Amino acid sequence: MSSYEPRTIAFGAEVLHAPIPIRPDAVQRVHNELFQRPELAYQNFQVAADGVHLTNPAITPGQISSASFLPDRVVFREELRSTTIEDFAARVVNAVGIAYQTLSIPQTVGRQFWARTLVAPQHVKDSRTFVAERLLAGGGEALAGFGRPLHSVGLRMSFPSTEPQQPALNLRIEPWVQEPRSLWLELVGQYGTQIPREQLPELSNGLYATYRFLTGPALDYVARFDVP
């Protein structure tokens, strides 16, 4: 097990359904109901060409808090905010439940979740050096063959689903350019199974499973190379 203390900076979810017309008046009712619960509320309501977007104002640059109602999906994003996995799971489950009831959507047809976290390698000060020298075969000597200074370098791995309830997983590991000391990891979990409206609380299972893989096997993999 790794000894890192990950700093999770983003959560996201896309819950897919069969295509429907997006009626702003119906989404407004969803917005109004969410607004009655401070932990789920969005301050702003915007109708756009692609759908309807609910957002909260950014307190610091780069912050995102949004729920987007598109013809075939609802997309949630919480980035660079003090959101916990429990907070995000509650938001997704409750908001989708209200939306599906209000918009008469009977079931999901698929979903994907993502989480992004930062960790600081313990034995290498620059995360670019850590990726180039520790995670990639050949290290910096092989990269020197490009004849150009290295700005960033990364690793991407995909893990297919091997059974119906298991997600396909996509993992990215890169230096975080805003803070060279930190390593940036993103995991996306994709599920193709359906969930009927009355079982929507099961959405949280996929989110938690994705997060556990990121903070478990993914960080354990990094720790294998983070040695003196």
Q: What is the pLDDT of residues 2-54, one digit of tens each?
A: 788 899 999 999 999 999 999 999 999 999 999 999 999 999 999 999 999 99
> Cβ distance 126 to 181 under 8 Å?
yes
DSSP label at 132?
A: I
Enter the pTM of the model. 0.92
pLDDT at 212: 96
Is-contact 97 176, C-beta < 8 A? no
Residue with tokens 């994709």: 190
Q: Dump pLDDT digits (tens) for 128-141.
A: 889 988 888 666 67
Neighbouring-strand partners of residue 44: 55
Rounded CA-CA distance 27/197 in Å is: 17
Residues in the chain: 228
